[in-house]
Amino acid sequence: MKNSYSNIFTFNKKILSKTIKVLNKGGVAGLPTETVYGLAANAYSKLAVGKIFKLKGRPKLNPLIIHYYNFHQIFEDVEINSNLKKLYKKFCPGPITFVLKKNKNCKISSLASAKLKTIAIRFPKHRITRSILKNTKYPLAMPSANISSHISPVSAKDVYEEFKKKIKIIVDGGQSVIGIESTVVDLTNNPKILRPGIISSSDIEKVLKLKIKNSKSLKIKSPGMFKKHYSPGIPVFINQKKIDKNSAFIYLGNRYKNNKNKFSLSKKSNLNEAASNLYKTFRLIKKKGFKKIQITRIPFKGTGIAINDRIKRAAKIK
Ligand code: TXA
Ligand code: MG
């Protein structure tokens, strides 16, 4: 069914086959996931993957996450290990990405993995993207559906804002419930968190029964990970106490009522809820025409670690 945005579609059987047709032909589709929306293409096809890099303006050095339906699909492409098995069992499908050694017979386009010897894989939970993955004969390379250095989209309209009509099809799967990108964990050696997310290092430690170095104290060279900034397009300042009259202020709790420049990420100061509202709030503030964003201090615990990671990047602080 078409709506006022002619390339945003409500999901049904017809749209499922239309999306698969586009992907089978080497095209690109905007798809919902539980974390953020992704820009999907056939991960086995260099031509298809090339379109993703071009649309995003993404540096070729920055590899893409490869999305699979389930465990059975990955044996050809990556080396399985016991940590992967344990984490898969506990968290998948879900908001976690595993970096693994590439297999000799790996069919993933080397463009997608930036010619590295490793591959990042994920099993998304969103039912729409799962049904698409179930019906394709290849996994999907799928970075967040934003122009490089912009913030990730959390709704179909956000994707439209990024690419307008440059992509044929954006499947509407509602607001992404988690709202920030997946946790990326490197399992090629001793497990390391490369990108914090809603699944925290202590969640992972509990499953693996070992200690993981805190990403805060780690300087990991994950391609594109620390060089890149995610910017809402206006200056962002973090750990703010004093509110400037003309800036938008992002905070936790319900201290301010009906104030036009104050935006609470969670009235109950719940950090998961705060994460899910972060990018949405950035986009809203930008749309309202504010020229500057100030953010209160966010506690450095649990999902707060992931929120601090994202707002630091938005503030262009390393
Ligand atoms: O939640 C998510 O992960 C979303 C949804 C759409 O699945 N995807 C996403 O993809 O955030 P992207 O491309 O925006 O971020 C992927 C991150 C990048 O920082 C990239 O450098 C890193 O994962 N990455 C990909 N392959 C890697 C590898 N082999 N080794 C280390 N880091 C890798
Ligand atoms: Mg991204």
pLDDT score of 227: 52
257 — pLDDT class (breaks 50, 70, 90): confident
* Euclidean distance between CA atoms 130 and 173, whole angstroms: 12
259 — pLDDT class (breaks 50, 70, 90): confident
Quote the ligand 1 centre to 234 CA distance (angstroms). Answer: 24
pLDDT score of 74: 98
Phi/psi at 149 (5° precision): 80, -10
* Euclidean distance between CA atoms 104 and 160, whole angstroms: 38
Q: Which atom of ligand 1 is nearest to the CA of 31?
A: 6
SS (H, E, C) 3-38: CCCCCEEECCHHHHHHHHHHHHCCCCEEECCCCCCE
Mean pLDDT of the chain: 93
Residues lining ligand 1, Cβ inside 6 A: 33, 35-36, 38, 62-65, 97, 99, 113, 116, 118-120, 122, 124, 142-144, 181-182, 184, 194, 222-225
| Angle, vertex CA 286, rays to CA 10 and CA 169, nearest 5 | 25
Q: Which of 2-11, 216-225, 305-314 tops mean pLDDT?
A: 305-314
pLDDT score of 5: 81
56 — pLDDT class (breaks 50, 70, 90): very high
pLDDT score of 258: 74
State the pairing for strand pair 293-295/29-31.
unpaired
Residues within 5 Å of ion ligand 2, judged at the Cβ atom: 144
pLDDT score of 230: 82
The token duo for 273 is 């809820």
Give the pLDDT confidence of 291-311 residue by residue, as tens digits.
999 999 999 999 999 999 999
- CA torsion sign, 98 to 99 to 101 to 106? positive
In the predicted model, what is the mean pLDDT of residues 194-223?
80
Lowest mean pLDDT among 47-56, 170-179, 196-205, 211-220: 211-220
Quote the ligand 1 centre to 98 CA distance (angstroms). Answer: 10
In the predicted model, what is the mean pLDDT of residues 274-293?
97
pLDDT score of 239: 97
Give the pLDDT confidence of 94-133 residue by residue, as tens digits.
999 999 999 999 999 999 999 999 999 999 999 999 999 9
229 — pLDDT class (breaks 50, 70, 90): confident
User: Has residue 220 got a pLDDT over 90?
Assistant: no
pLDDT score of 219: 47
User: Has residue 21 got a pLDDT over 90?
Assistant: yes
In the predicted model, what is the mean pLDDT of residues 226-244?
85
